[in-house]
Amino acid sequence: MGDLYLAISSIDEDRIVAPLETAICVLTHQYLDSPTNVKIHLVVQEDESRQSHVSFKKSGMVFDLLRDIPPPASYCLTPVFNLEDGISCVAGLCSVLRQIIKHADEQWKHLLGFREACLVACAEVSMWTKFCEVDIVAAAKEVIADWPANRTSLPLQLARLEAHLSQPIRVHNVGKFKDQSHKYAEGPLFLVTDLILAVPVYVIMEKLQLWTEGKIALTAKWALVILDEHGFRSHVAQLEFERCELHRSWDLPAVVRSSLYKRDPTRYKPRHKIFTQQSDIESSMEIVSGVVAVEYEDPFGCHVELPPDIPLPDVPDKRLDRKIQQLSNLAKSTLKVSKANDLIVDFCSGSGHLGFIIAHALPSCSVVLLDNKEKSLDRARERREELGLNNVYIVQANLDYFVGKFQVGVSLHACGVASDLVIQKCLQSKASLVVCPCCYGGIQTNHVIQYPQSPEYKECGLTERGYIVLGHCADQAGTEQGERGMKLVDTDRCLLAKSQGYCVSLAKLIPHSCTTRNNLIVAVI
């Protein structure tokens, strides 16, 4: 039995008003013949964006109303799915729908696709998952809430879907399919992606009366297949929202004619890549030369003694010693900053090597293993049972879906931007942090972090492009210039924490040779 927690804004005798994500989950659950081993819990939550909500029929639904969500689901934004083990949860629309299908009758497993890999990649790394989970849903919400009467342009995300459907399919063994056009969203097979997309697309098409709009003929054709051939119309027809009264002439936004698949060679544009020259590195280093760099200290908590029987990491023998050295450094720092009953989050935890050591050493604390990779956390569940650690929760979610209150955040070798997202999450929660960054060259422009981050680096005139150059320089592992690049990037991170009232330590892991990515940032509020 799994527990599905969904947010609503109101409920009466006949109808429920809720965010679109809740409606997608409910309608999909009903389409799958309402599997009895998925228990639905509705939670009334205040939401400033209620004008973008939809209503749907309450009749036929089996659910209960809750005031509070239990952990670990309470640590995440809804929709969220607590697994039957009571210590694991899954957050994020696509991952939650995958769980609903896994708990449904065997006849629906085909919706997960080849090797059950449909939408298994998280929205942080997959353009396709992000489109299904975030982009098209946000577009539908915008249309519901306020689509100006004088607006003549169709939603951008509808244009992206139309372009996607116009491209050849990209599937396993594509050569065996004579027709390589998109009958369905991912090609020749009806999958969970079709159900997810059908709801926001239906909302947009109905609201703006677009079913006969020639500029999105492929989208309309696809939607009608899902609604009529696969019987989804009776479910989406429950949705109530205001429709536009008049037809109008629409413009289709210009978009790149490529698919939305995670790997599409037509999107590879070498000329758009940043290629770093030595002169670029020297220029960036000169710009920040006036900023006093944070100097290395002994690792914070290096004199703390770990228990002699710490859980050994599950890695090949040739990596074991170096991995233990890495983990021990971060575990000692974590023990130093933690107090009894703290909630400690191991961000980007993988299968939990660091988190399990901390949980073993601090039995009075609770530890959350947070990662977005399903397979890694499957292994973490196995190891938790093997180790008999009852103070560990396991959360499959993107970083931005985690909203729990915690006291300490830790991370070992979160790649590129992920290290900065971890630091940001800790600073926002006023939590202490223990972070060993990785993949400095993976730092790139994104919609969450603006580089540089610290007041000092901004004031000296370093641009985002110049900062990314420092990241590329830092990836020259084992060289003097690479070491300097690492120190400069991590100085920016340390100064950011200092500007928010933290006491900060920058150190090298002991021994330095345990990894080339051996900087350790500890910040205590």
What's the length of the chain?
Answer: 525
Confidence of residue 273 (pLDDT cuts 50, 70, 90): low
Q: Please give the average per-residue pLDDT across 327-337, as a whole number.
A: 98
Examine the pLDDT at 268 and tell me if it is beyond 50: no
Q: What's the rounded Cα separation, in Å, for the pair 463 and 460?
A: 9
Q: What is the pLDDT of residue 50?
A: 82
* Contact predicate 466/393, CB 8 Å: no
Q: What is the pLDDT of residue 245?
A: 73
* Closest to 6 (Cα-Cα) out of 55, 75, 66, 87: 66
Q: What's the rounded Cα separation, in Å, for the pair 475 and 426?
A: 25
Q: What is the pLDDT of residue 124?
A: 80
Confidence of residue 419 (pLDDT cuts 50, 70, 90): very high
Q: Please give the average per-residue pLDDT across 307-314, as a whole number.
A: 94
Q: What is the pLDDT of residue 271?
A: 47
* Closest to 250 (Cα-Cα) out of 207, 202, 213: 213
Bridge partners, 111 (sequence order): none
One-character DSSP codes across 329-343: HHHHHHHHH--TT-E
Q: What is the pLDDT of residues 119-133, one digit of tens each?
A: 998 888 889 999 999
Q: What is the pLDDT of residues 11-59, one digit of tens each?
A: 999 999 999 999 999 999 999 999 999 999 999 998 777 889 999 999 8
Among 48-52, 80-84, 160-164, 462-466, the least confident range = 48-52
One-character DSSP codes across 240-284: B-PPPSS----BPPP--S---SS--GGG--GGGS----HHHHHHH
Among 160-169, 319-328, 426-435, the least confident range = 160-169
For β-strands 296-297 and 503-508, DSSP reports them as: parallel
Q: What is the pLDDT of residues 363-406, one digit of tens each?
A: 999 999 999 999 999 999 999 999 999 999 999 999 999 999 99
Q: What's the rounded Cα separation, in Å, for the pair 309 and 328?
A: 12
Examine the pLDDT at 457 and tell me if it is beyond 80: yes
297, 457, 496, 497, 512 from 504: Cα distances, Å: 10, 17, 10, 7, 20
- Tokens, residue 16: 């429920």
What residue spans define the domains of the chain?
1-112, 118-268, 278-518
Q: Please give the average per-residue pLDDT across 428-432, as a whole number.
A: 97
Q: What's the rounded Cα separation, in Å, for the pair 112 and 90?
A: 16
Q: What's the rounded Cα separation, in Å, for the pair 525 and 512?
A: 27
Distance of CA 114 to the CA centre of its chain: 23
Q: What is the pLDDT of residues 255-267, one digit of tens each?
A: 998 888 766 655 5
Q: What is the DSSP letter of 11?
A: E
- Tokens, residue 478: 């084992």
* Contact predicate 429/344, CB 8 Å: no
* Closest to 410 (Cα-Cα) out of 508, 299, 330, 501: 330
* CATH architecture of the domain covering 278-518: 3-Layer(aba) Sandwich (3.40)
Q: What is the pLDDT of residues 277-293, one digit of tens each?
A: 999 999 999 999 999 99
* Contact predicate 516/501, CB 8 Å: no
Q: What is the pLDDT of residue 148?
A: 75
Distance of CA 127 to the CA centre of its chain: 12
Using a 10 angstrom Cβ sphere, with 0-12 exposed, 13-18 middle and 19 or more buried, the burial of residue 216 is buried
Using a 10 angstrom Cβ sphere, with 0-12 exposed, 13-18 middle and 19 or more buried, the burial of residue 365 is buried
Q: Please give the average per-residue pLDDT across 162-173, as a whole number.
A: 84
Q: What's the rounded Cα separation, in Å, for the pair 174 and 264?
A: 14
